[in-house]
Amino acid sequence: MNLTKINKLKIVFEDEELIVLNKDAGIITHSDISVNEYSLVDLLKENNITLSKGENIYRPGVVHRLDRETSGIIVFAKTDKAFISLKKQFFLREVEKVYHALVWGVPSPIAGKINIPITSYLGKKKISFSQNSKEAITLYKTINTYQNKFSLIECKILTGRTHQIRVHLLSKGCPLIGDKVYARGRNMKENTNKNIVNFITNYSRQALHALKITFLHPIDNNILKFNADKPEDFLRLEEVLFED
Residue 15 annotated as catalytic: no
CB atoms < 10 A from the CB of 148, how many?
Answer: 9
Q: Which of 15, 32, 67, 179 is catalytic?
A: 67
Rounded-to-integer distance, Cα 140 and Cα 158, Å: 11
Taking each helix axis from N to C end, the angle separating 194-201 and 232-242, rounded to the nearest 10 degrees, works out to 160
Neighbours of 91 (CB within 10 A): 11
Residue 28 DSSP label:
B
Q: Extract the runs of DSSP E, i.e. beta strands, from the chain.
A: 11-14, 18-23, 71-77, 96-104, 111-115, 118-121, 124-127, 137-146, 150-157, 208-216, 223-227
Write out the catalytic residue numbers. Answer: 67
